[in-house]
């Protein structure tokens, strides 16, 4: 019996959604509304725990940073710098392209709307929770990020045995939520059907957004392309590394990442390419690539920043320039903690928006396009992992032998 692929189910969902939407039957709309609400509730259910647990499980498992301190520091340095660059380019694209159409009209000077945030100082106060349960009960993602970073920093200074114990505990919870996440992802065709159906019902409300969706996609895909085709190659050439030869050497791993939409799935091929075609030392490749697969998420940082600003500003929120710049840091932190979650960028974005009290329906309209975005993002992440690994190997080689990694 022939098995229907996931992409086929998605295509069928879009087609059925269009058909049901044109029928314009109230009972169909009610059923679709119920299903979309259930799916959004599931997103909210797993989003915050994933943000919290992914950061902690990643940090607590970094015991190799103690044994290979210099190597780890270089990997983290390049990872954070490239992710910050990706988020900065994403913000630049968002400001220049202006997919919502409010930046050029001069509406960015007043900060977040008064209803959403009374003052910037009160926003800062909310980052530090008064108890450990409060951020989760109030769905405050920034406070959860702060709590995760604080707890991660504390775990890193614990004795090895205690850190390993906590790592096993949090990794177990993380694995359980990963299973739930996979279940949620399997429901995506049903959710897409519901969102497409409701799109026709609410066309008069969200029709104005549709004209901006193309510009939104230009921002996301354009920022990823500039990061992968301009910024990272310039970093390589600055260290006298040929980006073309590296790309050719990494092509098998890049292809796997693009079509599977999984950096983890491309990892074995990436290590083989690095050690074989590229010629990176095994100790560097086998340490750097797994770590980068976990924390180096250039594409995710760009998606989170652009998507949060696009959806929230489409719903009437206004940001000042400092608040937009703050999102570079927030998107970078969230991307570093993504840790290879399926649709992780989408879940993290929904967590941010839910915490801000922003309706998620427009994010649901973006969902049918996310498959393409995810393919480009994953390819960028694998490419960035390769660039970071080669740059780290290059620094070690320059200390021992002034030969370029790639001529």
pLDDT in tens, 175-202: 888 788 778 777 878 888 887 787 777 6
Geometric angle at alpha carbon 373, from 325 and 250, rounded to 5°: 100
**pLDDT over 60 at 339, yes or no:** no
More confident site: 391 or 46? 391
Geometric angle at alpha carbon 147, from 142 and 149, rounded to 5°: 95
Mean pLDDT for the stretch of residues 36-63: 75
Which of 73-77, 104-108, 127-131, 236-240 is predicted with the least confidence, judged by mean pLDDT?
104-108
Alpha carbons 149 and 285: distance in angstroms, whole number: 27
**pLDDT over 70 at 113, yes or no:** no
pTM of the predicted model, to two decimals? Answer: 0.68
Per-residue model confidence (pLDDT) at position 63: 56
**pLDDT over 50 at 110, yes or no:** no
**Segment 221-262, tens digit of pLDDT:** 999 999 999 999 999 999 889 999 999 999 988 988 887 777
Contact present, 253 and 386 (Cβ < 8 Å): yes
Alpha carbons 57 and 175: distance in angstroms, whole number: 10
Phi-psi region of 101 (alpha: psi -120 to 50; beta: other; left: phi over 0): left
**pLDDT over 80 at 371, yes or no:** no
**Segment 373-395, tens digit of pLDDT:** 988 998 999 999 999 999 999 88
The mean of the pLDDT values for the chain is 80
At 118, the pLDDT band (50, 70, 90 cuts) reads very low
Mean pLDDT for the stretch of residues 205-233: 84
Alpha carbons 220 and 305: distance in angstroms, whole number: 9
Per-residue model confidence (pLDDT) at position 402: 52
More confident site: 204 or 299? 299
**pLDDT over 60 at 104, yes or no:** no
DSSP state of 108: -
Contact present, 185 and 5 (Cβ < 8 Å): no
Per-residue model confidence (pLDDT) at position 368: 75
**Cβ count near 271 (within 10 Å):** 20
**Cβ count near 381 (within 10 Å):** 29
**Segment 277-314, tens digit of pLDDT:** 898 888 788 778 877 887 888 999 999 999 999 999 98
**Segment 318-334, tens digit of pLDDT:** 888 888 999 999 899 88
More confident site: 217 or 41? 217
Per-residue model confidence (pLDDT) at position 363: 84
More confident site: 88 or 259? 88
Give the DSSP H/E element, type plus range, for residue 233.
helix 232-238
Q: Cα 82 to chain center, whole Å?
A: 14
- The domains of the chain, with CATH numbers, are 7-400 (1.10.3860)
Geometric angle at alpha carbon 221, from 77 and 205, rounded to 5°: 125
Per-residue model confidence (pLDDT) at position 405: 45
Per-residue model confidence (pLDDT) at position 399: 62
- Could you tell me the maximum CA-CA distance found in the chain, to the nearest angstrom? 72
Per-residue model confidence (pLDDT) at position 247: 95
Per-residue model confidence (pLDDT) at position 407: 43
Cα–Cα nearest to 80, from 392, 388, 391? 388
């Amino acid at each position: 019996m022939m098995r229907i692929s996931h992409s086929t189910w998605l295509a069928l969902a879009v087609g059925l959604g269009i058909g049901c939407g044109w029928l314009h039957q109230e009972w169909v709309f009610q059923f679709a509304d119920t299903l979309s609400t259930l799916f959004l509730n599931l997103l909210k259910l797993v989003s915050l725990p994933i943000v919290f647990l992914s950061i902690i499980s990643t940090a607590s498992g970094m015991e190799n940073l103690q044994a290979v301190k210099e190597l780890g520091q270089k990997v983290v340095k390049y990872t954070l710098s490239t992710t910050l660059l990706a988020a900065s380019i994403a913000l630049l694209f968002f400001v220049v392209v202006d997919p919502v159409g409010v930046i050029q009209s001069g509406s960015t000077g007043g900060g977040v709307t008064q209803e959403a945030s009374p003052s910037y100082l009160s926003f800062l106060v909310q980052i530090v929770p008064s108890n450990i349960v409060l951020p989760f009960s109030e769905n405050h993602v920034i406070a959860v990020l702060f709590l995760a970073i604080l707890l991660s920093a504390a775990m890193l200074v614990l004795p090895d045995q205690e850190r390993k114990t906590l790592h096993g505990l949090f990794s177990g919870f993380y694995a359980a939520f990963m299973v739930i996440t996979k279940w949620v992802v399997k429901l995506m065709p049903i959710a897409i059907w519901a969102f497409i159906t409701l799109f026709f019902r609410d066309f008069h409300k969200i029709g104005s957004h549709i004209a901006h969706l193309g510009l939104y996609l230009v921002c996301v895909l354009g920022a990823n392309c500039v990061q992968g085709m301009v910024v990272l190659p310039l970093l390589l050439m600055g260290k006298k590394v040929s980006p073309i030869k590296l790309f050719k050497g990494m092509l098998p791993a890049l292809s796997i990442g693009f079509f599977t939409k999984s950096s983890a799935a491309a990892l074995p091929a990436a290590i083989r390419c690095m050690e074989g075609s590229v010629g990176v030392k095994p100790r560097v490749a086998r340490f750097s690539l797994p770590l980068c697969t976990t924390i180096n998420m250039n594409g995710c940082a760009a998606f989170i920043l652009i998507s949060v600003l696009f959806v929230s500003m489409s719903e009437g929120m206004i940001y000042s320039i400092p608040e937009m710049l703050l999102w570079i840091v927030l998107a970078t932190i969230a991307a570093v903690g993504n840790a290879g979650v399926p649709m992780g960028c989408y879940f993290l974005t929904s967590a941010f928006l839910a915490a801000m009290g922003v309706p998620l329906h427009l994010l649901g309209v973006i969902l049918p396009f996310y498959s393409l975005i995810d393919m480009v993002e994953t390819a960028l992440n694998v490419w960035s992992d390769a660039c970071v690994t080669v740059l780290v190997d290059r620094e070690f080689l320059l200390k021992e032998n002034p030969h370029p990694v790639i001529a």
